[in-house]
Amino acid sequence: MEPHEGFGLPVESFPKDFSYHGDDGEDAVATATSSDMKPRILIMGLQRSGKSSIQKVVFHKMSPNETLFLESTSKIFKDDVSNNSFINFQIWDIPGQIDFLDNTFDLDMIFGGTGALIFVVDAQDDYMEALTCLHQTVSKAFRVNPQIKFEIFIHKVDGLSDDHKIETQRDISQRANEELHEAGLRDLHLSFHLTSIYDHSIFEAFSKVVQKLIPQLTTLENLLSIFVQNSGVEKTFLFDVVSKIYIATDGSPVDMQSYELCCEMIDVMLDMTCIYGDETDDGTPQDSTCIIRLNNTSILYLQEVTRFLVLVCILRDDSFTRRGIIDYNILLLKKAINDVFDVRLRQGKQNGHLPIEGRNNLMQLSTSANA
């Protein structure tokens, strides 16, 4: 896959709109509201903490070992994650060498339109300097834009034992929060994630960051929970195919192993599609379905929802005897999901409320499955 083009940035402002790719392949843009912002995500942190590696591995399919040869970034690197992806958002990789205390930086411009700020802390290094930088950065950003979600990636944890990981997270979160309390910033909330580019933790953490920026998340989660309850499925994820970010899941807890299995299934499907499949012009698979039986009586079942989204279900093989009901429910679920993201339907309706058609589908979904 070709990497997306990025370019050094003369800092500029962006329209506050949330946009996504419609099912017809055209960009649909909803009118801006305060909770409907285009997800712009900043990645910040000290030099060599792993910012560019995260971006390259998650969005450009770079293998983790190749990141060893990445050169230090010297300019703000702006990346539009839009090609072939469901969600159309921007990532700005901010070099560790930039000094935000320098008055030449227009902080209003940088933080004003930002949805989430990821601050990367290298857990394999002495992190005291990183914590000072973290405090300065988040307090400045919060003063400019209190709506920003602050996500702290305690990164490179592949080199740490499980006990050491937990202890590092406890120590970093305690120190960071204490400093914020002392500075009187009690409303500033930090979320912490243990990450590494050498496993799926970085994809899972990014999924959680992106989910917080999707205004329709609660509706999607409710739809998936109802689907799971009525279809005999144990777990289901809605994935953005290209990035393998899951944009929603049902209400049951996510365990890392299930998430990894689903990611691997998507890889298998993409590889098979590349070699044998009927691709669209942009390389995304068409009308894909994939079933994998595991040797522990579980089944992985994948179905395409839209050009950019797939639903992956984990279920026991005896539940799969009712495949007709599952398929019928998936059909209704697809329609409901399309309705949720149908901008025309959403226009004029209150934010976060399910469109009328979506509600009807929900009702049919439970009736059909109980029959």
Ligand X SMILES: Nc1nc2c(ncn2[C@@H]2O[C@H](COP(=O)(O)OP(=O)(O)OP(=O)(O)O)[C@@H](O)[C@H]2O)c(=O)[nH]1
Interacting residues with ligand X (CB under 6 A): 45, 47-53, 67-68, 70, 72-73, 95-96, 155-156, 158-159, 196-198
CB of 89 to ligand X, least distance (A): 19
Q: For ligand X, which is the closer residue by CB, 194 or 362?
A: 194
Name the residue nearer to ligand X (CB basis): 22 or 45.
45
Cα(89)–Cα(96) distance, rounded to whole angstroms? 22
Contact call for residues 160 and 172 (beta carbons, < 8 A)? no
| Min separation Cβ 4 and ligand X, Å | 16
Backbone phi and psi for residue 90, each to the nearest 5 degrees, phi listed first:
-115, 145
Nearer to ligand X, 149 or 193 (CB): 193
Angle at 154 between CA 152 and CA 159, to 5 degrees: 170
Q: Least separation, in Å, of the C-beta of 293 and ligand X?
A: 33
For ligand X, which is the closer residue by CB, 138 or 314?
A: 138
Which CB atom, from 158 or from 264, has the smaller least distance to ligand X?
A: 158
- Would the CA dihedral through 326, 207, 116, 72 be positive or negative? negative
For the CB of residue 28, give the shortest distance to ligand X in the complex, in Å.
33
Q: Which is nearer to ligand X, 18 or 192 (CB)?
A: 192
Residue placing its CB nearer to ligand X in the complex, 67 or 229: 67
Kindly compute the dihedral angle of the four CA atoms of residues 163, 164, 170, 174, in this order, to the nearest 10 degrees.
160
Minimum distance from residue 70 beta carbon to ligand X (Å) = 4
Nearer to ligand X, 72 or 218 (CB): 72
Q: Which is nearer to ligand X, 198 or 328 (CB)?
A: 198
For residue 101, the one-letter residue type is: L
